[in-house]
Amino acid sequence: MKKAVRLFITGSLQSLFYRQFIKQHADAYKVQGFLRNREDGRVEIFIEGQVDAVDAVIAICKRGPKHAIIRSTEEREERLQGFKEFKILNF
């Protein structure tokens, strides 16, 4: 079974390192979607794929890499979009 989720992450994120960290794990778990920095300073992450893989990547996004400070997360269930890979947008 598949699912899709949109996350908004707020915190002190070394943006390049955080983006690469999430991309690496998204690829490892074979989920699709995208990550982008928003003008309001939050990071938006759309993830879709098998339920267990999406849940694992959500947990990783909420934890972040070693030196990231996550202040808040917002999570929304979404409709599947049919992405073929995971991309970093607005790089």
**What confidence score (pLDDT) does residue 28 get?**
98
The total domain count for the chain is 1
Q: Provide the residue range defining the domain that includes 74.
A: 2-88
| Helices 15-28 + 51-63 axis angle, to 10 | 160
CATH code, domain carrying 51: 3.30.70.100
- Tens-place pLDDT, residues 52-79: 999 999 999 999 998 889 999 999 999 9
Share the mean pLDDT of the chain.
93
Max intra-chain CA distance, the chain: 34
pTM score of the predicted model: 0.93
Q: How far apart are CA 29 and CA 49, in angstroms?
A: 9
Which two three-digit tokens encode residue 65?
């890499």
The residues carrying an active-site annotation are: 19, 37
Higher pLDDT, 27 or 17: 27
pLDDT of residue 15: 64
Q: How far apart are CA 51 and CA 90, in angstroms?
A: 27
Give the pLDDT score at 67: 85
**Residue 7 three-state SS:** strand
